[in-house]
Chains A and B, each alone.
Chain A
Amino acid sequence: MIELKDVYKSFSGKDVLCGANLKVERGESVVVIGGSGSGKSVLLKHIIGLLKPDKGTVIVDSTDLSQINEDGLNEIRKKFGMLFQSAALFDSMKVWENVGFGLKRHTHLADSEIKEIAVRKLKMVGLVDVEEVMPSELSGGMRKRVGLARAIAMEPEILLYDEPTTGLDPIMADAINDLIIKMREELNVTSVAITHDMKSAYKIADTIAMLYNGVIIAKGTPDEIKNTSDPVVKQFIEGSAEGPIVLEGIKK
């Protein structure tokens, strides 16, 4: 179970999160939506302790992340798999070494076994014959999927996806959605995903939460969100430029 309680975060005077609250139950799949630059990635990084809140608490499996030391944090992180928005592949390593990084560090498997697992995970995200390639030789969408393979390689209990389908073609995007659903159904993972793609959000979410002005302004099932009366959420999911959300600097 993951819980963010009243999380505040600002960067050099710029407030990004202003009292965000979010609760994710075990086995639940939460999708966070919100405008570009609204702090979704920042929110996600708080869950795994990459960023520390200025105020407020982050709780993972009844452990307050601010109350534990480096070793404790690393133990908790072993439960996680995270896909970064930019994939964040290690560019000095081959694709299979990227995917197998966690296995190499935290298990006693031989390289050949790690490679075998890596190849299998790569196949799950629709990539074949790339294991010996360096990440710099891949396309953006391929890098994203290698990042996804790396996130699921250790079969974590909790998966954090930062825009898993951005940069993929619609068919591949849908295949990745299916994979995310499969991960939850088969391994009962808890997941938090960020997406701009409403179709994907409706498909993979048990719960959709919208981040706006540093707080979660709405939370509900896909159906509840679809039929919302909140004008901000309505404008966002309909993708309309008309409404209460104003884009600074862009005038008609």
Chain B
Amino acid sequence: MLLKLIEYIGALIEGPIEGVGRIMVLFYSVLKWLFRPPFEIRNIFKQMLEIGVKSLPVVLITAVFTGMVLALQSYTGFKRFGAEGLVGSVVALSMTRELGPVLTALIVTGRAGAAIAAELGTMRVTEQIDALETLATNPVKYLVVPRFLSGTIMLPALTVVTDIVGIIGGYFVTVILFGVSSRAYLRTTWDYLEVEDIYNGLIKACFFGASFALVSCYKGFYTKGGAEGVGQATTGAVVVSSMTILVSDYFLSAWLFK
């Protein structure tokens, strides 16, 4: 009975543990190829366009509405105890420290992470990855490294945009809709915001970018079993990346914002 239970638990965790091991192996080979010329400049730019530039519209909409709703909620809420003057700080701190990196990461994962897993997964099941190898081209260097690099670079870049646009959204609601003076809003924004808030947020974004790209590449790269497998890889990439982002966010925040 007990043995059965242990066996059952073993079987249950075997998959994830094996997965973590194989992601680490992939990560190691990404690092190994990352610094070896020739660099895949063309592929890297293409992926930066795919992951970064093409995510810009959704990121902008998310950012502006997040900033707006933050301002709306904190204005009406803080009014109860006369603290509506702090709305600017609330928006600025929440955006830079937390919502900027996390929301951007989740949105980009939903878009680009799914696309990466689906593309690499399709390439795997249609033997295109094997074909790359027969053409003496290392698929990790050719496919995974550019995506990993673009994720790691573009996520902080998009987060900067989110931070700024979020603060503008908050400004719009507070100043234009609620009639708080523009100077008061901007002062509270700058007074409590420190440079660390911004760059610690960007460090988080960097980490999220690296992890969603790695997880999505891993899911796609090791896809098995036709169209159904590609579907599973895609969902798996989004679910696992999002979980990784949300869980690591807590620990990163605890470590960075002491």
Contacts and interface: CB of A to CB of B under 8 A. Distances in A.
B246 to A, nearest CB: 32
Interface stretch (B13-21, B101-109, B130-138, B194-202): B130-138
A91 interface: yes
Interface stretch (A100-108, A176-184, A231-239): A100-108
A50 B134 contact: yes
Main secondary structure on chain A at its contact with chain B?
mixed
Nearest to A98: B131
Interface string A228-247: 00000000000000000000
Contacts of A45: 130
A162 to B, nearest CB: 10
A77 B134 contact: yes
A18 to B, nearest CB: 23
Nearest to A49: B133
| B interface, size bucket | 10 to 19
Interface string A42-85: 00010011100000000000000000001000110110111010
A131 B169 CA distance: 49
B136 A84 contact: no
A204 B138 CA distance: 32
Interface string B88-117: 000000000000000000000000000000
Contacts of A17: none
B134 A80 contact: yes
Among A45, A77, A84, A88, residue most surrounded by chain B Cβ atoms (within 10 Å)? A88
B138 A48 contact: no
Interface of A: 45, 48-50, 70, 74-75, 77-78, 80-82, 84, 86, 88-92, 101-102, 105-106, 150
23 contacts: A45-B130, A48-B133, A49-B133, A50-B130, A50-B134, A74-B136, A74-B137, A75-B136, A77-B134, A77-B135, A77-B136, A84-B130, A86-B127, A88-B127, A88-B128, A90-B123, A90-B131, A91-B128, A101-B135, A102-B135, A105-B136, A105-B137, A106-B136
Given A82-B131, A84-B130, A88-B127, 7 more contacts: A84-B127, A88-B126, A88-B130, A89-B128, A90-B128, A91-B128, A102-B136
Interface of B: 119, 122-123, 126-128, 130-138
Per CB-CB distance, the 8 closest pairs between chain A and chain B, nearest first, are A88-B127, A88-B131, A77-B136, A74-B136, A82-B134, A102-B135, A78-B136, A50-B130
